[in-house]
Structure 1
């Protein structure tokens, strides 16, 4: 590394200069900038894909549909409500089977044309463990419900962004 010398106040020519040479620092920074500009696109890997268009479609609630609410109790057990009535797992299964039998009989039997079976709509609390909601889904499937949906609340202004 070389050192520059310049004129001093006393007239001597061998006094060192106290200014910092910033040229090497700028050179190093430019080289690092170029290296980062080249390597960042290589490090960030993206996969091209087309995401589905999500639209908020309000559900049409029919009187024959079953509305279930599932939440966790304070002691960690699961609470399932059929409408406003609290039911246990076996009672849920029995009620669901009875509901389907009555609806099929009302529409003219299993072989009736245009048979529309009721749906099960499950509303789960945000803090409910999945095992509670999964148990409700399993019981409704065992009873014979083919269509099971979830009732959710869209984020504020979601219908305005369509």
Structure 2
């Protein structure tokens, strides 16, 4: 290794770094990487299934059923009476796929009226009932 000596003459001092060991280490690492890259690229060939672009299931339609505070029932924004509600529920229950009933009621609607509509939907054959709420509504 070229190191400076303890003498006072400026001719003996060599400020250059000996790069030979660094080049040796670099070449050894290069050889290691050349040998390990083919091992890392080894892959198992498998036959994957192809995806289709056709939907698997048809999304059922939804029926918006609303109740106001007076007890009036709205079927998709059209007012219906109790007998008309039974007829519409029976017709909707026969559809395939069966539609979902989205029940929306005002805060001041009596629970008895909501329970009557739910019982009518159940007895008419509708199996899916969802409750729609407004989380941003302030309590008065």
State the alpha-carbon separation in 1 of the partners of residues 62 and 68 from structure 2. Answer: 20
Q: What residue is the counterpart of 1:66 in the other structure?
A: 63
- Could you report, residue by residue, the CA deviation over 1:96-142 in whole angstroms, capped at 9, with x for unpaired residues? 111222x23xxxxxxxxxxx421111001001000111111111111
Root-mean-square deviation (Å) = 1.8
Q: What residue is the counterpart of 1:129 in the other structure?
A: 110
Structure 2: tracts of 5 or more residues without a match: 1-58
| TM-score, with structure 1 as normaliser | 0.45
After TM superposition, give the deviation of residue 155 of structure 1 in Å: 4.1
- Could you report, residue by residue, the CA deviation over 1:63-91 in whole angstroms, capped at 9, with x for unpaired residues? 62111001122xxxx10000111111111
4+ residue runs of structure 1 moved beyond 6 angstroms?
none
Aligned length: 79
Structure 1: tracts of 5 or more residues without a match: 1-61, 105-115, 157-162
| TM-score, with structure 2 as normaliser | 0.52
Larger-gyration structure (1/2): 2
Q: What residue is the counterpart of 2:42 in the other structure?
A: none
- Could you report, residue by residue, the CA deviation over 1:21-66 in whole angstroms, capped at 9, with x for unpaired residues? xxxxxxxxxxxxxxxxxxxxxxxxxxxxxxxxxxxxxxxxx66211
